[in-house]
A and B are shown apart, each in its own frame.
Chain A
Amino acid sequence: MDGVHDMGGMDGFGKVEAEPNEPVFHAPWEGRVLAMQRALGYAGAWPIDASRFAQERLPPRVYLAASYYQRWALAMERNLIERGYAEADEISSGRALRSGKPLARKLSPEVVTQGMTRGSFYRQAQAPARFKPGDRVRTKNIHPPTHTRLPRYARGRLGVIELVHGCHAFPDTMAIDKGDNPQWLYTVMFEGKELWGPDADPTVRISIDAFEPYLDPA
């Protein structure tokens, strides 16, 4: 979806300001949110793409005003309700009023190390890769109302395949519960001028990681 989360190339946000000696968490609740997210991910409650999509669907003013972990918490509440894991009255009252929905597994202290290891997104290829390094491609000009990982600034642009990362689960379908739909994943490199016009810095090149359905031969 064409939301405010898709920030690449926007102006007006100002300078990047690093915080000296930044703590890992700025408040205890941030760590609780992160850990709950990991635990629910381990339990198989929903895929990471659905977490991202829920954040993208926050009203723009909420998205922009919220901190990173606030967005996570809001997206988590949304997914819990939409997927029937909890109801709004339970979340607002802070009490479980009904029994839980079964989950595949539960993250216990004994399996925390496994639960924190990042899973693999590789999937069995359904067809040979269409592109190889060096191939010229044009990204599609698509504007799906649902989740996509093709940023706006790189749509309809001419690029070159630089790396082939194997066949991966496809976020665009994972986010809306339409399955893994395995797709080849490539690093596609663009010249700065192709993305930002003739005044762009000629020494800059930008790449995205693009799934095969985002690409046409060029």
Chain B
Amino acid sequence: MAQHEHDEHGSELSEMQLRVRALETVLTEKGYIDPAALDLIIDAYETKIGPHTGARVVAKAWHDPAFKRALLDDGSKAVRALGHESRVGEHLVALENTPARHNMVVCTLCSCYPWDVLGLPPVWYKSAPYRSRAVKDPRGVLADFGVALPVSTEIRVWDSTAETRFLVLPMRPSGTEDWSEERLAQLVTRDAMIGTGLPKRPQEVG
């Protein structure tokens, strides 16, 4: 896996590796944790839990109007009913993008993110540039991602300051009217579900 390549670079990373190993040893010897359980958690985040879950949710909402209503009404309940691998917790709220309104999600105070449906957040989401600017200059942040929205579109920024988690429901691209749910899911990017990107265009996935 790619992350191992980074590990050998720089004394700081090696120092962290030693420090964390020491911490794990202490916690294991004290009986607080079981390293075998840690392995399973890491494996789940590396191989099972990720934005593909959110993409399936979005594609289903595009495909099935009743599910879309249920999702917007109670995100946790609607997603839980799908029975995905990652069991979604409470407090998930889906935000619908329209031509009049574009939603974007941030956590200025730490890095709250809907792990259950998007996996672990990317570094940029947790970075000072995003956390500081998203609430003050969201159009500038969108420009950093190469996204320019019409000036008539309201930009609505949701700062995740509590345990509520937000999932953006992007607009369904035109030209996909006869597409299946599985095919639609290929259009849904992680960034589109955070609100810093848009779905792929139909011609990008074929």
Using a CB–CB cutoff of 8 Å, the interface residues on chain A facing chain B are 5-11, 13-19, 21-36, 38-40, 43, 45, 52, 55, 64, 67-68, 70, 73, 76-77, 80, 85-86, 90-96, 99-101, 103, 106-109, 111-113, 115-122, 149-151, 153-154, 163, 165, 168, 171, 185, 187, 195-196, 201, 203-211
Closest-CB distance, A174 to chain B (whole angstroms): 11
What is the CB-to-nearest-CB distance from B94 to chain A, in angstroms, rounded to a whole number?
A: 12
Would A106 and B91 be within 8 Å (CB), given that A28-B17, A94-B22 are in contact?
A: no
B108 within 8 A of A: yes
CA–CA, A149 and B109, complex, Å: 7
The reply to whether A107 and B37 form a contact with Cβ atoms under 8 Å apart is yes
Whole-angstrom CA separation of A40 from B23 in the bound complex: 12
User: Closest Cβ of chain A: how far from B206's Cβ, in Å?
Assistant: 20
Residues of B within 8 A of A (CB): 1-4, 6-7, 13, 16-17, 19-27, 29-34, 36-42, 44-46, 50, 86-91, 93, 106, 108-111, 115-116, 119-120, 122-124, 126-139, 141, 144-145, 151-164, 191, 196
Give Cα distance in the complex from A23 to B88, angstroms: 23
Partner of A149 from B40, B134, B152, B162 at Cβ < 8 Å: B162
**Alpha-carbon separation in the docked complex, A149 to B139 (Å):** 25
Contact A7-B40, Cβ < 8 Å, known A29-B17, A96-B26: no
Within 8 Å by CB of A43, from B1, B32, B42, B123, lies B32
User: Which chain B residues border A27 with CB–CB below 8 Å?
Assistant: 3-4, 6-7, 13, 16-17
**Contact of A209 with B164 at beta-carbon distance under 8 Å, contacts A64-B128, A95-B26 already known:** yes
* Distance A210 CA – B162 CA, assembled complex (angstroms): 7
Q: Which residues of A have CB within 8 Å of B156?
A: 204-207
